[in-house]
């Protein structure tokens, strides 16, 4: 089926990314917007735009009925969910198909199977995919949790059965900490997912977080290598890169085969990501599957030369993947920094305000995926992600130098961002040597706290530059002479000559 119009049920940088992919495929893009996003870049870039309600996501971007009605009213044939919001909600995928529209993503059954972490663990074990030792069913009470924790051995991880993104997770080092961790994790899971179910698994000491990108159409399922996502703060990724220095060709093949088996086990279709914990001895364990396009997908695109969003569109239309030769070999090294409106000097608390000035990095192999521009208002209604800065180099060291240069070129004034944290990270010897794991920042609070002075200095310097720029703009321009007379420049030159 040829798609001629697609509605994008999202906002910000990913919505703009999908608009561009649609245009390159000759497809009209329909944006949706809340009252707060009326003039956002993704709305202006789309061919059509549909209002969907007030600023709070619960009254706009999370309203399944409103999104589907907008698609029908716009004449769209398909809906692309992007990431976040409704992207991994099985009822949304089901409702889209029930409405006679195409969901650009996996079927609801696959989302449902992978969305329930305990069900996913059972399926992965049945498919021969290695999983972290632990339970395969939600816990029923504290007594069961204590017995299981004793069997698998401390430390253990308490995790939300319906969760993701670090919500409802607690590390428990000893039995005395278990009761409090269960209570806190369950409460957090209820608030985040509406489901307080928990399960336990063994806590792997100092692993890397390595994920495998997969693509599946109606004929085959393939993988496009790995991404290293070990630089995390409170289970939230800050930096991603591809390939991982810890993965050799043999390990890449094994992890890729496990990811393909995982996707096949749930009848997957489209783009998805299998996340693994990689231990120092090379053993790896299935963590979860993200049944959507990932925030960090650009690093895979730059290293493997495949446009993942266009592949999503092709697969949804029934045309299948465009690349026929597998496996692909990685070329060079790519790194992504998430630029967020979070203040490193204030415990990474969200920052709001108007972006008064924005200077975007450029140059060879520098990519800026953003959903904001100068003049835009940053609010607390949505995620703090402003943009993604991605670079590609001939190797990791080259990519690090290129990112360091790009971060120094980037200027954002009006809201606090995590830019200075990234600059300190990329200057750190341990990071440059790739001596990292998912607890790296837990052991290096200096990289988080030390950003304060540099952040303040940067703000003062930029504020001074902006003040000078505004002063010059506000000055009364010189009165122009009569068009027939000599110019001010000619007068000045004549005076210099007479001296």
Q: Each residue of 457-479: b (16+ CB within 10 Å) or e?
A: ebeeebeeeeeeeeeeeeeeeee
Structure tokens at 331: 């070329």
Q: Are 213 and 260 in contact (CB under 8 A)?
A: no
Residue 244 to residue 258: CA distance in whole angstroms: 17
The residue among 279, 262, 268, 267 whose CA lies nearest residue 133 is 279
Q: Are 52 and 8 in contact (CB under 8 A)?
A: no
Q: Each residue of 283-318: b (16+ CB within 10 Å) or e?
A: ebbbbbbbbbbbbbbbbbbbbbebbbbbbbbbbbbe
Q: Are 422 and 396 in contact (CB under 8 A)?
A: no
Q: Are 43 and 403 in contact (CB under 8 A)?
A: no
Q: Are 208 and 437 in contact (CB under 8 A)?
A: yes
DSSP codes joined into one string, 71-100: HHHHT-SEEE--SSTTTT-HHHHHHHHHTT
**Is residue 396 flagged as an active site residue?**
no
Residue 29: CB partners within 8 Å, gap ≥ 6? 5, 6, 8, 18, 19, 22, 23, 45, 46, 47, 48
Backbone angles phi, psi at 219, to 5 degrees: -115, -30
Q: Are 108 and 81 in contact (CB under 8 A)?
A: no
Q: Which of the following is catalytic: 233, 292, 367, 396?
A: 292
Q: Classify strands 236-242 and 221-233 as parallel, antiparallel or unpaired.
A: antiparallel
Structure tokens at 342: 């979070």
Half-sphere exposure of 235 (CA within 13 A, CB side): 14
Tally of CB atoms within 10 A around 433: 10
Q: Are 481 and 488 in contact (CB under 8 A)?
A: yes
- Catalytic positions, written as ranges: 292
């Amino acid at each position: 089926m040829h798609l001629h119009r697609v509605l994008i049920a999202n906002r910000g940088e990913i919505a703009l990314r999908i608009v561009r992919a649609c245009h390159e495929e000759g497809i009209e893009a329909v944006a949706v917007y809340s009252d707060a996003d009326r003039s956002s870049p993704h709305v202006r870039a789309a061919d059509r735009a549909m209002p969907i309600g007030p600023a709070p996501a619960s009254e706009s971007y999370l309203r399944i009925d409103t999104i589907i009605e907008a698609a029908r009213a716009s004449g769209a044939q398909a809906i692309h969910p992007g990431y976040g919001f409704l992207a991994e909600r099985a009822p949304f995928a089901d409702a889209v198909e029930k409405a006679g529209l195409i969901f650009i993503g996996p079927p609801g059954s696959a989302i449902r199977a992978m969305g329930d972490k305990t069900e996913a663990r059972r399926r992965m074990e049945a498919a021969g995919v290695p999983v972290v030792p632990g339970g395969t069913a939600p816990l029923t009470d504290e007594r069961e949790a204590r017995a299981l924790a004793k069997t698998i051995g401390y430390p253990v991880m308490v995790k939300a059965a319906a969760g993701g993104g670090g919500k409802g997770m607690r590390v428990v080092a000893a039995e005395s900490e278990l009761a409090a961790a269960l209570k806190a994790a369950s409460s957090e899971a209820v608030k985040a997912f509406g489901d307080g179910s928990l399960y336990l698994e063994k806590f792997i000491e100092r692993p890397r977080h390595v994920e495998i990108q997969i693509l599946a159409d109606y004929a085959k399922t393939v993988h496009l290598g790995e991404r290293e996502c070990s630089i995390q703060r409170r289970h939230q990724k800050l930096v991603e890169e591809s390939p991982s220095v810890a993965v050799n060709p043999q390990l890449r093949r094994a992890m890729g085969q496990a990811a393909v088996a995982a996707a096949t086990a749930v009848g997957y279709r489209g783009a998805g990501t299998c996340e693994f914990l990689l231990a120092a001895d090379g053993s790896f364990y299935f963590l979860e599957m993200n049944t959507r396009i990932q925030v960090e997908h650009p690093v895979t695109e730059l290293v493997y030369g495949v446009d993942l969003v266009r592949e999503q569109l092709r697969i949804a239309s029934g045309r299948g993947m465009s690349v026929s030769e597998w496996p692909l070999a990685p070329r060079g090294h790519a790194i992504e920094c998430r630029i967020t409106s979070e203040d490193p000097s204030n415990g990474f608390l969200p920052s709001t305000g108007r972006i008064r000035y924005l200077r975007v990095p450029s140059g060879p192999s520098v990519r800026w995926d953003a959903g904001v521009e100068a003049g835009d208002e940053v609010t607390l209604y949505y995620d703090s992600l402003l943009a993604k800065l991605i670079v590609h180099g001939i190797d990791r060291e080259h990519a690090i130098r290129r990112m360091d240069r790009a971060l120094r070129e980037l200027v954002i004034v009006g809201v606090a961002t995590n830019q200075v944290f990234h600059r300190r990270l990329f200057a750190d010897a341990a990071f440059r040597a790739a001596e990292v794991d998912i607890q790296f920042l837990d052991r290096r609070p200096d990289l988080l706290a030390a950003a304060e002075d540099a952040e303040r200095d940067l703000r003062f310097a930029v504020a001074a530059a902006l003040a000078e720029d505004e002063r010059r703009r506000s000055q009364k321009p010189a009165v122009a002479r009569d068009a027939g007379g000599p110019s001010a420049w000619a007068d000045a030159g004549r005076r210099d000559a007479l001296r």
